[in-house]
């Protein structure tokens, strides 16, 4: 059965993971700038692209989730006692969408892994294509990190959604 502590736990974990996502994104952006501006070899120029693009996405998503987590946590804890219908009409559908989105993210991350792995395999022994080899390596690393982080978040979201569903069904009965 869902408790206020479960709601608190879910949103605090989400907030902490999003802060980590933000920090990793900033580190990736900084690394990409160092790779492109200072190291300047084709390998590092290739490596800089996924670091920059995915790093920006990580930083934006990390900040967005971090910034809204406290408000969602407080609102849902309040709704637990004062307005359980809000959990049914807003929070549960939101979490169903979150869970569906994790499936989409997983497929995108798998595609990045495959693309990066293909680049590594094709260009691992071709010094003229070292740019693509560098791009492939960082694409695989970034995709793997995203896949792991999103898998952890997806498991947490699934448990929370399940608890919400049981709470809603018990309130309706």
pLDDT at position 55: 97
Residue 43 CA to residue 130 CA, distance in Å, equals 5
What pLDDT is attached to residue 172?
65
Number of structural domains the chain divides into:
1
Own/partner long-range contacts of 101-110 (Cβ < 8 Å, ≥24 apart): 102/150, 102/153, 102/154, 102/157, 105/146, 105/150, 106/147, 106/150, 106/151, 106/154, 109/143, 109/146, 109/147, 109/150, 110/143, 110/147
- At residue 154, the pLDDT reads 98
Per-residue pLDDT of the chain (173 residues; tens, 9 = 90+): 899 999 999 999 999 999 999 999 999 999 999 999 999 899 999 999 999 999 999 999 999 999 999 999 999 999 999 999 999 999 999 999 999 999 999 999 999 999 999 999 999 999 999 999 999 999 999 999 999 999 999 999 999 999 999 999 987 66
Q: Which residues contact 106 (CB under 8 A, 6 or more apart)?
A: 147, 150, 151, 154
pLDDT at 171: 74
Domain limits for position 121: 4-172
């Amino acid at each position: 059965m869902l408790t206020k502590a479960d709601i608190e736990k879910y949103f605090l974990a989400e907030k902490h993971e999003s802060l980590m996502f933000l920090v990793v994104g900033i580190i990736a952006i900084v690394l990409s700038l160092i790779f492109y501006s200072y190291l300047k070899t084709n390998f590092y120029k290739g490596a800089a692209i996924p670091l920059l693009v995915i790093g920006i996405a990580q930083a934006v998503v990390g900040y967005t989730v971090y910034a809204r987590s406290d408000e969602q946590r407080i609102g849902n804890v309040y709704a637990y006692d004062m307005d359980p219908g809000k959990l049914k009409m807003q929070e549960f559908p939101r979490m169903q969408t979150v869970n569906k989105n994790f499936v989409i993210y997983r497929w995108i991350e798998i595609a990045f892994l495959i693309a990066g792995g293909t680049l590594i395999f094709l260009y691992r022994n071709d010094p003229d294509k070292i740019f693509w080899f560098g791009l492939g390596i960082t694409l695989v690393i970034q995709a793997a990190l995203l896949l792991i982080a999103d898998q952890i978040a997806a498991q947490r979201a699934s448990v929370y959604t399940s608890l919400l569903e049981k709470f809603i069904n018990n309130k309706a009965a």
